Amino acid sequence: MSMQQILAENRRLIVLRGLQEAIYYTLNEHSLGAVCRHFGNGAGKDILRGDLGFLEQHGLIKVERIDAESGKLWIATLTTLGGEVARGRHWEGVARRGPGD
């Protein structure tokens, strides 16, 4: 497994866990980027959006793309399945929480 793949899988788990703790299970891409940076796995906008797209394609989150003055703003909401993965269910392409995490 490449370093890029390890970082992507961990970042996706960070996103899911961040959404799990958010009010209404929803955060915008800027807040999610801050959460990833806080846990030492920050990435540029395009990479984060790629991760959000992956999670959306797998039904783990829903993404709303709204028009903003600076372009599109992505807002992610955790799905029930995404919550299960955030709590430890195995999902290919997302890091798995360790015991006690």
> How far apart are alpha carbons 84 and 65 in whole angstroms?
24
Q: Is residue 7 in some structural domain?
A: yes
Structure tokens at 3: 């370093």
Expressed as residue numbers, the domain containing 60 is: 3-86
Q: Is residue 92 in some structural domain?
A: no
Rg of the chain (C-alpha set) = 13
Q: Is residue 10 in some structural domain?
A: yes
Q: Is residue 94 in some structural domain?
A: no
Q: Is residue 70 in some structural domain?
A: yes
Q: Is residue 95 in some structural domain?
A: no
pTM score above 0.85 = yes
Q: Is residue 56 in some structural domain?
A: yes
How would you write the pLDDT of the chain (101 residues) with one tens digit per residue?
899 999 999 999 999 999 999 999 999 999 999 999 999 998 899 999 999 999 999 999 999 999 978 788 999 999 999 999 999 999 999 998 776 66
Q: Is residue 42 in some structural domain?
A: yes
Number of folded domains that form the chain = 1
Report the CATH number at residue 39.
Answer: 1.10.10.10
